Amino acid sequence: MSQSHPTSFSADAVPQAPEDPLFGLMAAYRADNFDKKVDLGIGAYRDNDAKPWILPVVKKAEEILRKDPALNHEYLPIAGLATFTSAAAKLILGADSPAIAEKRTCSVQTISGTGAVHLGALFLAKFYPGQPKVYFSSPTWANHNQIFSNVSIPIATYPYFSKSTKGLDFAGMKKAISDAPDHSIILLHACAHNPTGVDPTREQWKELAVLLKQKSHFPFFDCAYQGFASGDLAKDAWAVRYFVEQGFELCIAQSFAKNFGLYGERAGCFHFVTGAGTDAQKTIGRIASQLAILQRSEISNPPAYGARIAGLILNDETLFKEWEEDLRTMAGRIITMRKALKAKLEEMGTPGTWNHITDQIGMFSFTGLSEKQVLELRNVAHVYMAKNGRISMAGLNTHNIDYFAKAVDKVVRETQG
C-alpha cells in the first residue's frame, strides 16, 4: 500500500468548482426515462425529429475532401488555412468591404467562436492602452465572463433585456455605454443575441455607433449566428459592416459551429480591423504579428478538418448557394416553431403576452418564465430548459410543441400571483 502524503492542492487552495449549469441540465435530461421529455437547453440545431442535422452541403464537401489525393494531416500555418480565413473575412465584412480593399484587416483561425473571443481578449489585455473595462450586455453568454476574467480584464455590464417588455432596454443600454469611461471595450452580439434573441433595430445600431464614436469606445463583435438567425447572411452581418463603414477600429469573433453545423470541429475565426489611415497597413501588420505569437503560445496550429470543409464551401459558387439554402432551411424551421408556439399559447389564452416569442430571433428565446416556473416544468412535465427561462427553439418540433405549450399554459396558470 502506498504511503500517505498530503496534497499541495487542498480544498482551500482548489475548491470544488460548480457544475456548468447547461451541461448539468443535459446530463439530467439524458438520465430521464420519461417518453415525452423535451430538451430545450441544448444550443445546437435539431431537425423536426429532434436529431442532429448534418447539412447536405457539408456531406458533399466531406466527400470531395475524402477523394482529394492531396489531402494530408500536416500542420496548418499558425494563422490557419488562408483560403478559409480570407473567405471568412469576406463573409462577415462583405466582399466589397473598404477595410478588405484597403488591406487593413487581419484574420486568424481559432478554436471556434470561444477561441476567437479568448484570442481577442488576450490581445486586448496585453496591448490595449490604459486599463479598460469590458462591458457586456446583461444578460450575455455566460462564457464571456469567464474568458475575460481569465485574462484579467475588469468586467462591467450594460442593461439589455427588459423584463417588462421582454424586448430591448435601449435607454438603459445607451445610458450605461454613455456613462462608461472613454476608450472602454463594448462587447456586442452581431445578431441573434444569446441568450435573449433580442436584437437592436438598424436605427438603434446607428444610434449606438454615434454613441460609441463619441466615447472613443472599442467595439468587440461576437458573431455566432450569421445566416442562421434570419437565413440571410448579409442581413445578419449588417451591424458589423455598418460599424466598419463608420470608420471604427474593431474586432470580431466569428463561429462556424451553428451556421455549418460543425459543432465538434471547432472552426472559427478572429478578425481585427484597424482604422483607415496612411499607416493602416503597417498597423495591421504589427497586430497580426502579435496575434500569431499569442496563437503560437496557446494552440500552435489550429485544427484543419472543419476549416477545410467551411473553406471549400465558402470558395465554391455552387456549394455556397447550396449552403445558403441549408441556412434558410434551419432558420425557416425555427421561425416556424416561433410562430406555432405563439399561436398555441394565444389560442389557449395563456396569461400574459407572447408576441416576444416571434419578435425575438435566432436559436434562443427568453420566454419570460420565472425560475420557479422553469423548475416546475422540469419536475412535472419533464421539460428541460435554462433556469433563466431561455429555451432553444431548435428543441421544438411538430411532435412536441403541443405538449410543451400545454405544459407552459398549466404552469403559468398555477403560479400566477
Assess contact for 334 and 394: CB atoms under 8 A: yes
Exposure on the CB side of residue 79, measured as CA atoms within 13 A: 18
C-alpha cell belonging to residue 143: 462564457
How far is 198 from 10, CA to CA, in rounded Å?
44
Region 2-25: mean pLDDT is: 81
Nearest to 121 by CA among 78, 155, 87: 155
> For the chain, which domains are there?
21-53+330-410 (3.90.1150.10), 75-315 (3.40.640.10)
Q: Which tens digit of pLDDT belongs to each residue from 254-304? A: 999 999 999 999 999 999 999 988 899 999 999 999 999 999 999 999 999
Mean pLDDT, all residues of the chain:
92
Rounded Cα distance between 255 and 11, Å, is 37
CA–CA distance, 80 with 61 (Å, rounded to integer) = 19
pLDDT tens per residue, range 320-378: 999 999 999 999 999 999 999 999 999 988 888 888 889 888 888 888 888 899 999 99
Q: pLDDT confidence of 2, banded at 50, 70, 90?
A: low
Query: In 46-163, where does DSSP find H-type helix?
Result: 56-66, 82-93, 98-101, 112-127, 142-150
Listed residue (262, 316, 296, 253) closest to 45, CA to CA = 262
Sign of CA dihedral 339, 341, 342, 343: positive
Q: In the structure, what pLDDT confidence band is assigned to residue 32 with cuts at 50, 70 and 90?
A: confident
Active site positions, annotated: 141, 222, 258
Rounded CA gap, 390 and 411, in Å?
16
Beta bridge partners of 271: 107, 252
CA atoms lying within 13 Å on the CB side of residue 318 = 2
All residues at 6 or more sequence positions from 354 whose CB lies less than 8 Å from its CB, including other chains: 341, 342, 345, 346
Q: Is 126 exposed, middle or buried (0-12, 13-18, 19+ CB in 10 A)?
A: exposed
Quote the CA–CA distance of 103 and 229 in Å, as a whole number: 29
> What is the Cα–Cα distance from 240 to 227, expressed in whole angstroms?
14
Record the pTM.
0.92
Helix (H) or strand (E) holding 310: helix 305-314
Total residues found in the chain within this entry: 417
Q: What is d(CA 275, CA 104) in angstroms, rounded to the nearest whole number?
A: 7
Asked if residue 1 has pLDDT above 70, the reply is no
pLDDT in tens, 93-146: 999 999 999 999 999 999 999 999 999 999 999 999 988 999 999 999 889 999
SS (H, E, C) 343-401: HHHHHCCCCCCCCHHHHCCCCEEECCCCHHHHHHHHHHHCEECCCCCEEEHHHCCCCCH
